[in-house]
Amino acid sequence: MLWDALTLQLGYNATLVAIGATLLGISAGVTGTFLFLRKRALVSDAISHATLPGVCLAFMALVAFGGDGRNLIGLLVGSAISAWVGLLCMNWLTRHTRLAEDAAIGAVLSVFFGFGVVLLTVIQTMGVGRQAGLEGFLLGSTAGMLWADALVIAIGGAATLLLVMIIRRPMTMVAFDPEYAAARGLPVHRIDLAMMGLVMAVTVVGLKIVGLILIVALLIIPPVTARFWTERSDRVVLLAGISGGLSGFLGAGISASAPNLPTGPIIVLVSFGSFALSLLFAPVRGVLAAVLRHLRFQRRVHIRQGLLALAQGQKIYEPLTIRLLRRAGIVRADGVATDEGKARAAKALRDEKRWEFVRADQAHEATAALYDGLRDIETVLTRDQIAEIDRRIGGPQEVMP
């Protein structure tokens, strides 16, 4: 079943949802990256909750003018307007009052959402009967998705993606160093507004599939996931797009493969799965890598300290050090250094002297920055450089008795 879903062979609706969710995932991941880099990830939560009153008011207006209350474009326009109002409120609160951004987010989020829920209740008592479906905007509902709906998502997502790519450079500059950006004459405030406007566009586009409560996950989790794998912002953007797109696709596929699996929440869970895997297994920033790195580092520190102690004839008390030295064949079971151990100890002491020279010499700055007290000097310097250093610090040091 899942295979059928993933190869888009599960019927018309499932295919539409899968394509829509993939496009949404890509544009949300890419757009959300800039929010994440600017350290304003939670703004998206306020924006998304602020869409609800707009959805309800648009429904009421559509019905009042005798239209179809479920017209997707009408509802999305309404949601965009109220999200924009929420955004401006938040912006005003942070800029012109002493409220910090987190407080402004909390205020806007709860008030707009509360107002939206009141309107939802009012609509339910209106007895129009056609309101069925508005609650779907809370968590997304893909069951009755139409070709036109998918088209709206595709066009909206693509347009957002295009705009993000156009202003990615100024957004990155503002995220890294807003004061420098301002000094260069970039309109920092307007760039921030544009960024949040794009987030709003993604939110509105995603209402149908993941709903307003969970869209924040699609904006934030992919960049956070991507950040585990790279140290370059352009690659964070790329990987977040890929991760978001895959989550959308897989999530839609899984939810279509069995009855009664909600699309939006499944997409979020898949996205979380990739986050969890990255958190654990990413090569540099992952938790496992960090633990292994720490253990390896600890082991090397102990051996190095042991070698230096041997070279200087000091007694070693630390049990872990003795154990490691013995296992490495540096000392015998009775604690006396082996021939190999003596040679390595002398080398360690010599390297320490060479490092001392390298670190004091401005010409070797880039090398000196690599000093960790552990590295063999020949891994960072050429034979000629070492010979030169040896010439300047004098003859080899003997291992002390």
Partner 1 sequence: MLELATVQGVSIEGQDIDRCPLAIRGLTVSYGQKPAVFSVDMTVQPGAMTAIIGPNGAGKSTLLKAALGIVSPLSGQVTVFGQPLEDQRARIAYVPQRASVDWDFPTRVIDVVLMGLSRQLGLLGRVRARHMARAMDCLNRVGMREFADRQIGQLSGGQQQRVFLARALAQDADLYLLDEPFAGVDAATEKAIIAVLKSLKEAGKTVVVVHHDLATVVDYFDHVFLINTRKVAEGSVEQAFTAETLQAAYGGRLATAQIDQILRALG
Query: Which tokens in the block code for residue 267?
Result: 């997409």
Query: Least separation, in Å, of the C-beta of 131 and partner 1?
Result: 44
177 binds partner 1 (CB under 8 A): yes
Side chain identity at 219, as an amino acid letter? Answer: L
* Partners of 337 in the β-ladder: 331
* Whole-angstrom distance, CA of residue 57 vs CA of residue 55: 6
Side chain identity at 367, as an amino acid letter? Answer: T
* Whole-angstrom distance, CA of residue 311 vs CA of residue 316: 11
232 binds partner 1 (CB under 8 A): yes
Q: What is the DSSP letter of 66?
A: T
Select 103 or 167, whichever has its Cβ closest to partner 1. Answer: 167
242 binds partner 1 (CB under 8 A): no
In the range 358-377, which residues lie near partner 1 by CB under 8 A? Answer: 362, 365-366, 369
Using the rule CB under 8 A, which residue among 233, 243, 271, 274 binds partner 1? 233
236 binds partner 1 (CB under 8 A): yes
Q: CA torsion sign, 80 to 86 to 88 to 90?
A: negative
> How many residues does this entry show for the chain?
401
Q: Does residue 381 sit in helix, strand or coil?
A: coil
Q: Does residue 254 sit in helix, strand or coil?
A: helix
Select 43 or 134, whichever has its Cβ closest to partner 1. Answer: 43
Query: Least separation, in Å, of the C-beta of 177 and partner 1?
Result: 5
Select 304 or 364, whichever has its Cβ closest to partner 1. Answer: 364
Query: Least separation, in Å, of the C-beta of 212 and partner 1?
Result: 29
CB of 330 within 8 A of CB of 303? yes
Select 43 or 109, whichever has its Cβ closest to partner 1. Answer: 43
CB of 191 within 8 A of CB of 171? yes
Using the rule CB under 8 A, which residue among 109, 175, 217, 349 binds partner 1? 175
Query: Least separation, in Å, of the C-beta of 52 and partner 1?
Result: 33
Residues that bind partner 1 (CB under 8 A): 37, 39, 166-167, 169-170, 172-173, 175-177, 179-180, 182-185, 227, 230-233, 235-236, 362, 365-366, 369
